C-alpha cells in the first residue's frame, strides 16, 4: 500500500506543501470541523449508500471528536425532515436542509451551489458522497468549485493518526495496487464510495439530532439546465446486483452463451441474481449491469457462487466482501480458491446442473413440509 497526495488538488496553489508530514494547516483551515454525508434521494426514496456512508462517517467522527451531519437538498414538498430523522437513527447528529423549488429533481448547478454554500458557511472537515451517477457528477463539480481534493471510488476510509487527515484507499493501476490518498492542505477532504462497499449500519430509533434550515439564493433563470420531464428507465433496477442476497456468477470457463444459461437456472432456483465477469460482458453473453468487479458492481450477498471464474483481482475486489463464496473451477490452482470459503474442483457444466437439481429438490421438500 502506498501513500500519495490527492491528484485532485488544485494545480498551482499559493502555499503548496513540500512534504507530507510537515504540512501544517493554516488557522483558517483548522477551523473546519465535522464529517458530512450528502444524502441522495429520488422520488421519496433515499439511496441506501447514503445510510452506509452515515455509518462510516460515525466511525471517522468518533476518533476526531466531532459531529456527523447529513446534508439534504430538495424541493419544498419533499420529505427532507423525515429523511433527516432517519439519518439520526443511523448515526448523524445534525442535518442541514435546503428546500427550494429549483432543487426539485437533481440538476448539477443548483445542487453544486447549495452544497458549496453550505460548506463555505459551516466548514466541514470531511465530506462523503455515494459513487452513484448523481454523487459522481456532484462531487466533481463541488470539489473543483471549492478547490479541494476528491478521492473517488474508495474502498476504505480511515483517520491517519499522525495528521488527523482522511486516509482514503482506492484501487489503482488497473486494480493491481491499492493507494491511500490524503488531502493534507485543503478542506474539506472529499471522497466518494460505491454502494455496498461499506456495511449498512444498524438503525437506533432512540437517536435524535438537530435540524438546521438554510436557503439557496438561486432562481430558475440562473440555471442553464431545464428539467422538462422525468421518463423512468424501464430497465433500471431490473438487475439489482449490489443489494441481492444470493448471486450466481459465471466466467469465461463456461465457454459460450448457451452454457451460461446454467448460471441463470441455478440463480432462478435460489431466487438470486446473475453476475458475470468482464470478458463475459464483453463477449455479449450478458448485460453490462451484471458485471461484478472493479469496473462493474460491488456486491455483498450472503451467498456468492462463482462458476468458471479465475478470480482475477479486478473481479475479486467486487465480490470478496460476500458472506460465503463458493467457487467452481477445473483448475485447483485458480486464484479464486485463495479467497473462496468453499471450493469445488470440477467442470461447471456438470456441477451447475447438479446443484440446480439438488437445490430444487431440497426446496421443494422444504415447502412440502411447511405446507
Ligand atoms: C482495468 C481493468 C478492469 C477490469 N475490471 C473487471 C471487472 O470489473 N470485473 C471482472 O470480472 N474483470 C475485470 N477485468 C478483467 C480481469 O482482469 C480478468 O481478465 C477477468 O476477471 C477474467 O474473467 P474470467 O475469470 O471469466 O476468465 P478467465 O480468466 O479466462 O478464467 C476462466 C476460468 O475458468 C476456469 N475454467 C475453464 N473451464 C472450466 C470449466 N469447464 N468449469 C469450471 N471452470 C473452468 C479456468 O480454470 C479459469 O480459472 C478488468 C481488467 C482490467 C485491466
**C-beta 314 within 6 A of ligand 1:** yes
Q: Answer whether residue 15 shows pLDDT above 50.
A: no
- 315 Cβ closer than 6 Å to some ligand 1 atom: yes
User: For a pLDDT cut of 70, what percent of the chain falls above it?
Assistant: 93
Neighbours of 302 (CB within 10 A): 12
Query: What spacing in Å lies between the alpha carbon of 359 and ligand 1's midpoint?
Result: 26
Interatomic CA distance for residues 335 and 304, integer angstroms? 16
Entry pTM: 0.83
Q: CB under 8 Å, gap of 24 or more: what pairs does 153-158 form?
A: 153/192, 153/193, 153/194, 154/191, 154/192, 154/193, 154/197, 155/193, 155/197, 155/317, 157/56, 157/59, 157/60, 157/128, 157/191, 157/193, 157/198, 158/60
Residue 339 grid cell: 479467497
pLDDT for 4? 42
**CA nearest ligand 1 atom 9, residue:** 293
Ligand 1 proximity of 253 Cβ (cutoff 6 Å):
yes
131-171 confidence digits (pLDDT tens)? 999 999 999 999 999 999 999 999 999 999 888 899 999 98
pLDDT per position as a tens digit, 186-233: 999 999 999 999 999 999 999 999 999 999 999 999 999 999 988 887
Closest CA to 52 of 189, 195, 172: 195
pLDDT band at residue 18 using 50, 70 and 90 as cut-offs? very low
Q: Is it the case that residue 29 has pLDDT exceeding 90?
A: no
Question: For residue 98, what are the contacts with CB-CB under 8 A and spacing of at least 6?
Answer: 72, 73, 74, 114, 118, 213, 214, 215, 216
Average pLDDT on 76-102 reads: 98
* Span 243-276, pLDDT tens digits: 999 999 999 999 999 999 999 999 999 999 999 9
pLDDT above 90 as % of the chain: 81
The CATH-assigned architecture of domain 2-11+24-222 is 3-Layer(aba) Sandwich (3.40)
pLDDT, position 77 = 96
Does the pLDDT of residue 282 top 70, yes or no? yes
Checking if the pLDDT of 6 tops 50, the result is: no
| Res. 70 pLDDT band, cuts 50 70 90 | very high
Q: Where are the domains of the chain?
A: 2-11+24-222, 241-370
Which of 263, 281, 308, 346 has most ligand 1 atoms within 8 Å of CB, for mutation? 308
Would you state the pLDDT for residue 371?
Answer: 67
User: How many whole angstroms from 159 Cα to the centroid of ligand 1?
Assistant: 34
Cα(344) to centroid(ligand 1), Å: 17
Answer yes or no: is the C-beta of 340 below 6 A from any ligand 1 atom: no
Q: Do 134 and 194 contact (CB within 8 A), yes or no?
A: no
Q: Do domains 2-11+24-222 and 241-370 have the same CATH topology?
A: yes
Of the ranges 174-178, 235-239, 348-352, which one carries the lowest mean pLDDT score?
235-239
Checking if the pLDDT of 98 tops 90, the result is yes
Architecture per CATH, 241-370: 3-Layer(aba) Sandwich (3.40)
Q: What is the pLDDT of residue 234?
A: 72
**So what's the pLDDT on residue 30?**
87
Rounded to the nearest integer, the mean pLDDT of the chain is 91
Question: Which residue's CA is the nearest one to ligand 1's atom 11?
Answer: 277
Question: Mean pLDDT throughout 46-74?
Answer: 97
User: Looking at ligand 1, which residue's alpha carbon is closest to its atom 46?
Assistant: 253
For ligand 1, say whether the CB of 293 is within 6 Å of any of its atoms.
Answer: yes
Contact 88, 191 (CB under 8 A): no
Amino acid at each position: 500500500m502506498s501513500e500519495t497526495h490527492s491528484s485532485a488538488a488544485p494545480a498551482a496553489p499559493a502555499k503548496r506543501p513540500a512534504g507530507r508530514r510537515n504540512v501544517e494547516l493554516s488557522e483558517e483551515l483548522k477551523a473546519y470541523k465535522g464529517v458530512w454525508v450528502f444524502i441522495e434521494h429520488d422520488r421519496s426514496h433515499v439511496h441506501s449508500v447514503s445510510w452506509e456512508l452515515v455509518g462510516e462517517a460515525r466511525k471517522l467522527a468518533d476518533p476526531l471528536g466531532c459531529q456527523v451531519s447529513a446534508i439534504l437538498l430538495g424541493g419544498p414538498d419533499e420529505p427532507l425532515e423525515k429523511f433527516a430523522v432517519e439519518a439520526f437513527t443511523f448515526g448523524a447528529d445534525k442535518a442541514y436542509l435546503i428546500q427550494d423549488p429549483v432543487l426539485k429533481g437533481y440538476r448539477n448547478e443548483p445542487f453544486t451551489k447549495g452544497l458549496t454554500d453550505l460548506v463555505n458557511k459551516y466548514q466541514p472537515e470531511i465530506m462523503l458522497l455515494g459513487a452513484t451517477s448523481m454523487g459522481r457528477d456532484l462531487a466533481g463539480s463541488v470539489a473543483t468549485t471549492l478547490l479541494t481534493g476528491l478521492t473517488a471510488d474508495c474502498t476504505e476510509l480511515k483517520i491517519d493518526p499522525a495528521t488527523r487527515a482522511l486516509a482514503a484507499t482506492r484501487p489503482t493501476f488497473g486494480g493491481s495496487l491499492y493507494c491511500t490518498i490524503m488531502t493534507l492542505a485543503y478542506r474539506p477532504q472529499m471522497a466518494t464510495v460505491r454502494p455496498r462497499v461499506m456495511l449498512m449500519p444498524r438503525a437506533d430509533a432512540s437517536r435524535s439530532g438537530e435540524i438546521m434550515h438554510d436557503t439557496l439564493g438561486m432562481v430558475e433563470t440562473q440555471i442553464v439546465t431545464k428539467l422538462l420531464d422525468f421518463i423512468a428507465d424501464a430497465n433500471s433496477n431490473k438487475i439489482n446486483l449490489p443489494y441481492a442476497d444470493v448471486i450466481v456468477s459465471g466466467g469465461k470457463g463456461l465457454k459460450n452463451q448457451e452454457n451460461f444459461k446454467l448460471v441463470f437456472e441455478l440463480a432462478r432456483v435460489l431466487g438470486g441474481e446473475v453476475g458475470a465477469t468482464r470478458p463475459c460482458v464483453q463477449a455479449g453473453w450478458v448485460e453490462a449491469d451484471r458485471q461484478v468487479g472493479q469496473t462493474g458492481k460491488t456486491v455483498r450477498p450472503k451467498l456468492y457462487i462463482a462458476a468458471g471464474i479465475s478470480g482475477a483481482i479486478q473481479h475479486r475486489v467486487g465480490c470478496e466482501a460476500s458472506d460465503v463464496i463458493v467457487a467452481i473451477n477445473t483448475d485447483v490452482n485458480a486464484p479464486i480458491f485463495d479467497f473462496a470459503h468453499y471450493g469445488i474442483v470440477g467442470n461447471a457444466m456438470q456441477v451447475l446442473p447438479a446443484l440446480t437439481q439438488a437445490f430444487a429438490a431440497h426446496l421443494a421438500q422444504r415447502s412440502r413440509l411447511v405446507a
